[in-house]
Amino acid sequence: MDKKSPEETLLHNTRILADRLPDEDRMLPGGSGQFPSVETLKEVISLIKAVMFPDYFDKQRESSTLRRYFIGVKIEQLYTLLDKEIYHALQFNRNSYPEPQLSAREMALGFINSLPTIKRTLYTDVEAMFNNDPAVDNYGEVILCYPVIQAMVNYRVAHSLLHLGVPIIPRILTELAHSVTGIDIHPGAEIGEYFAIDHGTGVVIGETCIIGNHVTLYQGVTLGAKNFSLDSNGHPVNVPRHPIIEDNVTIYSNSSILGRITVGHDSIIGGNIWLTSSVPPGSRILQQKAVTTGDIGI
């Protein structure tokens, strides 16, 4: 074996890695450019939490004038960061946005206009979680401690940005929450008000899910696709393929609801259920009780 000095080894591999692979060029969206910063998007979420829940993620302001001032400063910071990051995100779809700077500004302002609606809806999620868990003592505990709130802040922000036409950033935001909470919500899912996820680890909500109001999920629930169609080139076709969950439905832990089926309103789906066909309103879907067959030697 030909021995090389550390410097020679480092330089040799640097030259190899600095050369672009054909696949590297092929997979680079938009050809070139600066893409969104994950670290900056974490800062964006921190600012949004301080605006949505100012008494929890920022110092309390007794004076309404001071409160308005400090929230205004954070909203201005939020707009400045989003304007820049959305502009970078538009590099992913360069041909679709002939004036990306103007488009980024309009999208950032559109998002700022959506903040009051996002805030109101997030407080319904807090209310739902408080009402569904006897272990919680007050609303502040839900806001500060429960993973569902972190997941829903990221999801509701990402969903709003997606509707404004912002590429890539919505996926980054929901995956940031996924990595922290174990709750995987695609930003394209439609989720109504008063949404609760207890515990949360392992919950998966697919892109084309439609979820009504007052829905509660427990850990390990999958709202997924049973299968998907392929185009003539063998690529998956993006068509509705995930469940519709109507109002006032509870789905218990580790159940899988798969395909474009409907769970009717006011239904209860028990734990460890595999469901691939629609059920009418008011259904109670439970697995068979365990049967003891004798001494198992424990």
> Which pLDDT tens digit goes with each residue over 187-203?
999 999 999 999 999 99
Which has the closest alpha carbon to 191: 183, 181, 180, 182?
Answer: 183
Residue type, 2: D
Q: Please answer whether residues 279 and 296 qualify as being in contact, where contact means their C-beta atoms are separated by less than 8 angstroms.
A: no
Which has the closest alpha carbon to 38: 171, 187, 184?
Answer: 171
pTM of the model: 0.88
Q: What is the mean pLDDT of residues 244-251?
A: 98
Q: Taking the CB of residue 215, how many other CB atoms lie within 10 A of it? A: 23
In this predicted structure, the answer to whether residue 56 has a pLDDT above a threshold of 70 is yes
In this predicted structure, the answer to whether residue 63 has a pLDDT above a threshold of 90 is no
Tokens in use for 267?
A: 């239904």
Q: To 5 degrees, how large is the angle CA 257–CA 259–CA 261? A: 80
CA–CA dist 183, 46 (Å, integer):
18
Please give the distance of CA 223 from its chain centroid, rounded to a whole number.
14
Sign of CA dihedral 117, 120, 125, 128: negative
Contacts by 289-294, CB closer than 8 A, 24 or more apart: none
Question: Could you tell me the pLDDT band of residue 65, with boundaries at 50, 70 and 90?
Answer: confident
**Res 298: pLDDT:** 47
Name the burial class of residue 241, with classes exposed (0-12), middle (13-18) and buried (19+) by CB atoms within 10 angstroms of its CB: buried
Name the more confident of 186 and 93. 186
Q: Please answer whether residues 92 and 35 qualify as being in contact, where contact means their C-beta atoms are separated by less than 8 angstroms.
A: yes
**Res 155: pLDDT:** 98
User: Cα-Cα-Cα-Cα dihedral of 158, 160, 163, 166, to 10°?
Assistant: -50
Q: Please answer whether residues 212 and 245 qualify as being in contact, where contact means their C-beta atoms are separated by less than 8 angstroms.
A: yes
> Which three-class secondary structure state does DSSP give residue 279?
strand
Q: To 5 degrees, how large is the angle CA 43–CA 116–CA 158? A: 45
Please give the distance of CA 29 from its chain centroid, rounded to a whole number.
22
Tokens in use for 9?
A: 């080894």
Taking only the tens place, the pLDDT of each residue in 102-144 is 999 999 999 999 999 999 999 999 999 999 999 999 999 999 9
Q: What is the mean pLDDT of the chain?
A: 91
Percentage with pLDDT > 70 across the chain: 92
